[in-house]
Structure 1
Amino acid sequence: MAKITRITTQKKSKNRYNIYLDRGQGEAYGFSVDEDILIKYRLQKSMELEESTIEALIQKDTIHKVYTQTINYLSYRMRSEKEIRDYLVKKEVDEEHINEIIRRLYQEKLLDDLEFAKALVRTRITTSSKGPIMLKKELIEKGVDASLADEAVQEFPFDRQVEKAVKLAEKKLKSDRKKSQRQQIQNVQQHLMQKGFTSDVVKESLTRLPEEEEEQEWEAVVFQGEKLLRKYERKSEGYELKQKIKSGLYRKGFSFELIDRFIDENVIEK
């Protein structure tokens, strides 16, 4: 049996207390506890403690300290259960203590994977270019169950998806102005699919894009055609040169009408 002889406040942490004990050999430092533990178990001077009780108090204090650190970790943003578990594992917390902390977080409604997932989706809608497929993948990577991830992406309605996809498509088109309209559309489709938008959203987005003017398509033909002309004119001429340029422009998605016009106006017979 040990008797509490003194309780002092720690200098660097005013909400933690050092407990001094006398086990029959004079006063010596015993252990420290958080203020919550001190109050909950009514620790006070002259109280006698069994060794088993001391061990239990130390363990409860350890869990309490980790729990407090976890609350601080949660204060920056919502977290998934997996993120919390990974955090605690990294801190080398015992599995038994991890499970107890997780249970307490759920009880106090500080942990909720569905609400976490919905909040992340709402944030990503305004801060990222990801579509629902990529958002679901991100949620699953963060440990959210697939069924909860499916429910969470419902926060991203179809019309909002199309709105975002159109903006991404318009930006992509601007960077591809020197390419054929067909190649531009193909690139837009690929870009939107890579961002995680469904085929229905991609299809609807394409219908909302402005039609390309003929003059712009002609400028693209000239730009690409001149590049091919510079590439091939040193080693080829006549029919062979025309065919190489015609083949190159066709692969880039231009119409035969515009290709023939470019060749007629720019490739000189020798």
Structure 2
Amino acid sequence: MAEIYEKVQKVEKLKKNYRIYWQNHEPMIVSEDFLVQYRLLKDKEFTQEDFIEMKKNMSSDQAYEQALRWISYQMRTIQEVDQYLKEKNHKERVRAKVIRQLIDYGWLNDLEYAQCYMRTKRREGKKGPRAIAYQLKEKGISENDIFLSQKEYPREKEYENAKKQAEKLQLRYQKKSIREQKEKIRQKLYQDGFQSDIIQEVCSELEFSLESELEKMRPVADRYWKKYQKYDEYTRKEKLKMMLYRKGYASDDIQQYLQEKEEEQG
């Protein structure tokens, strides 16, 4: 008969787990599943081999409990759980085992995560599918799961969100020239992950006021006219023209402004 190496002295019920007191070792905290699996009752005896094997599996049990508590607050990806357990100093072997268990029990599913994430971001309306796909890739989601999740963001919803964002941007940039407004709106929508053809369609439908382009240009022109006063008259005008052209103002409005300046100077 194998020699008895260790023995359970006492089992204490905690809020969610159990504390096991041993005859020759420090107390251990285990889950209820682990308690049942190893029948950790008072006076239970272990050989040295069985005790060492149990302690190895206890690391996996603790990691599993930690991961399960963490993902109970919100959905997580496989990569996020692996990183979390790594920060808790669990070895790669333990992390892999726990992740496999969580997948088998349905607690981890990267495709479901990607689909839910895509729907949530679509409802928020600030980002297009390209940007969301990039965010999912950063979270460790596979290309295939990202591709499948994009069905949650149909084209009509992308158009609707892009149009709302474009209208907000139009208000933000309303003091700029029409050309500059369009350029900034296109750039921002592209940066936010909307598709190029959607952006083109949305921008072509925006309505811009033509009545006050010259008035919108005046404060900008005045600022640069003052800035360039150190130059001779010809250079000053040429620099102002180039600056206003780059900002998208019409040549007729620029000429009108310069003509007014000539009249002011007599």
Partner of 1:120: 117
Distance 1:247 1:76, change over 3 A: same
Cα distance in 1 between the residues matched to 2:65 and 2:121:
28
**Contact 1:180 1:221 survives alignment (8 Å):** yes
**Contact 2:115 2:150 survives alignment (8 Å):** yes
Matched, 1:9 2:12: yes
Unaligned runs of 5+ in 2: none
Distance 1:231 1:55, change over 3 A: same
- Tell me which moved more, 216-225 or 96-105: 216-225
Distance 1:134 1:14, change over 3 A: closer
Counterpart of 1:176, as a letter, is: Y
Cα distance in 2 between the residues matched to 1:14 and 1:111:
22
Partner of 2:212: 216
**Contact 1:118 1:155 survives alignment (8 Å):** yes
Compute the TM-score of the two structures, normalised by the length of structure 1.
0.87
Distance 1:46 1:247, change over 3 A: closer
Distance 1:73 1:267, change over 3 A: farther
- Report deviation, 1:246: 2.6
- Tell me which moved more, 45-54 or 182-191: 45-54
Count, aligned residues:
261
Secondary structure of the corresponding residue to residue 215 of structure 1: coil
Cα distance in 2 between the residues matched to 1:163 and 1:14:
48
- Tell me which moved more, 193-202 or 225-234: 225-234
Partner of 1:24: none
Cα distance in 1 between the residues matched to 2:243 and 2:198:
32
Compute the RMSD of aligned alpha carbons: 2.3
Matched, 1:185 2:198: no
Distance 1:244 1:36, change over 3 A: closer
Cα distance in 1 between the residues matched to 2:153 and 2:16:
46
Deviations 1:96-139 (A, max 9, x none): 11111011001110000111111112222234622211111111
**Contact 1:34 1:61 survives alignment (8 Å):** no
Matched, 1:20 2:22: yes
Cα distance in 2 between the residues matched to 1:102 and 1:72:
13
- Report deviation, 1:76: 1.9
| Equivalent in 246, 250, 259 of residue 255 of structure 1 | 250
- Report deviation, 1:29: 4.1
Matched, 1:227 2:223: yes
- Report deviation, 1:142: 0.7
Matched, 1:90 2:93: no
Q: Percent identity?
A: 30
Distance 1:176 1:49, change over 3 A: same
Unaligned runs of 5+ in 1: 22-27
- Report deviation, 1:264: 2.2
Compute the TM-score of the two structures, normalised by the length of structure 2.
0.88
- Tell me which moved more, 137-146 or 215-224: 215-224
- Report deviation, 1:240: 4.5
**Contact 2:8 2:45 survives alignment (8 Å):** no
**Contact 1:82 1:142 survives alignment (8 Å):** yes
